Amino acid sequence: MSVTANTPSVSAAATMPIGTPRHHIAIFAGLLVLLLIAPFVLYPVFIMKILCFALFASALNLLLGFGGLLSFGHAAFFGSASYVTAHAAKVWGLTPEVAILLGTIAAAFLGLIIGALAIRRQGIYFAMVTLAFAQMVFFFALQAPFTGGEDGIQAVPRGSLFGMISLANDTTLYFVVLAIVFGGLLAIYRIIHSPFGQVLKAIRDNEPRSISLGYKVNRYKLAVFVMSATLAGLAGSTKALVFQLASLTDVYWTMSGEVVLMTLLGGMGTIFGPLVGAAVIVTMQNYFASFGAWVTVLQGTIFVVSVMLFREGIIGVLSRWIRKPL
């Protein structure tokens, strides 16, 4: 009897060559140039929205695409951070960088609690536990006195960066947001390409084998969960300042679903997929807003088509074509 491998072919995106590939540096540089020009061509608030969601989706992708853990409750981190930042800026009158920092820390702390409980389960049960916790956070946000209930926290002051640079101007704020998001994306890139990231990929690929090599997999899973929650929180905090609003939408389960959709559409387990996914979805929501509820139908259709035709996502397919990890 002859034996042949019957493993499905794996996208080139999944195999990371050793060292930093040149084309990644080139893409990051090109992206930065485009984003530096963008606010003078397009509406800055629109691009800032894309940037926030790009960071949010990349944070989820760190957990899903590289840790192999599907969280269906990431809105909890995004939304909580958004509330904390809004509250800190509006009620406590703190400067934006401190407000963002507090929101991010809150998300990290929440990630530690939810993560510690969720990683005890695997697969769909893990997803369900994260969803359940996210719903608890949602009801807390609905009932708690300082979240403003159905109204949310509105008219959040953008304040002055370090108490010196006013962020009231959209373009000024844009460059701050760009710095935050780009920094976040580079941090994720580094995490993926660190010794920690290597172990993470090994656990994603084969958990029992990683254990048999002596890795304490639960600690790695918890670590990546907290990192992902923290970065999702950073995105949520930044978003609260951009829109001067923290609302129930940010913690609702549809937000968790949307960010999963962005990641899958762009290509999970790729570096640049979540950015593309976020750009596509946010653009659709913005430009097709006049279709009302039909946007949701359109989103659903795109999702079905992408799952049926290109399961690896836009960047996943592209990466296979050019035979380079993206």
Partner 1 sequence: MSSPDIILSARKLTKRFSGFTAVNGVDLDVERGTIHALIGPNGAGKTTCFNLLTKFLQPSAGNISFNGRDITGLAPAAIARLGVVRSFQISAVFPRMSVLENVRIALQRRRGDSFDFWRNQKVLNAYDEEARERVEEVGLTEFIGETAGELSYGRKRALEIATTLALEPEMLLLDEPMAGMAQEDVSRISALIRRIAAKRTILMVEHNLSVVADLSDKITVLARGEVLAEGPYEAVSKDPRVIEAYIGAGHG
- Residues near partner 1 (CB under 8 A) are 1-5, 7-10, 14-20, 190-191, 193-199, 201-202, 204-206, 208-217, 219-220, 223, 227
For residues 19 and 145, which CB has a smaller minimum distance to partner 1 in the complex? 19
For residues 1 and 293, which CB has a smaller minimum distance to partner 1 in the complex? 1
For residues 158 and 204, which CB has a smaller minimum distance to partner 1 in the complex? 204
Least gap, CB of 199 to partner 1 (angstroms): 5
Least gap, CB of 194 to partner 1 (angstroms): 5
Express the helix, strand and coil content of the chain in percent, nearest 5 each: 70, 0, 25
Least gap, CB of 286 to partner 1 (angstroms): 34
For residues 55 and 251, which CB has a smaller minimum distance to partner 1 in the complex? 55
Least gap, CB of 190 to partner 1 (angstroms): 6
Q: Name 196's Cβ contacts closer than 8 Å, sequence gap at least 6.
A: 220, 223
For residues 46 and 215, which CB has a smaller minimum distance to partner 1 in the complex? 215
Q: How many residues comprise the chain?
A: 326
C-alpha–C-alpha distance, residues 305 and 297, integer Å:
12
Least gap, CB of 113 to partner 1 (angstroms): 20
Stated as kind and residue range, the H or E segment containing 217 is helix 217-243
Q: What are the distances in angstroms from CA 159 to CA 45, 90, 147?
A: 16, 9, 20
Least gap, CB of 270 to partner 1 (angstroms): 12
How far from the centroid of its chain's Cα atoms is residue 226's Cα?
A: 13
For residues 77 and 243, which CB has a smaller minimum distance to partner 1 in the complex? 77
- Produce one character per residue of 91-110: b if its CB has 16 or more CB atoms within 10 Å, e if not: eeebbbbbbbbbbbebbbbb
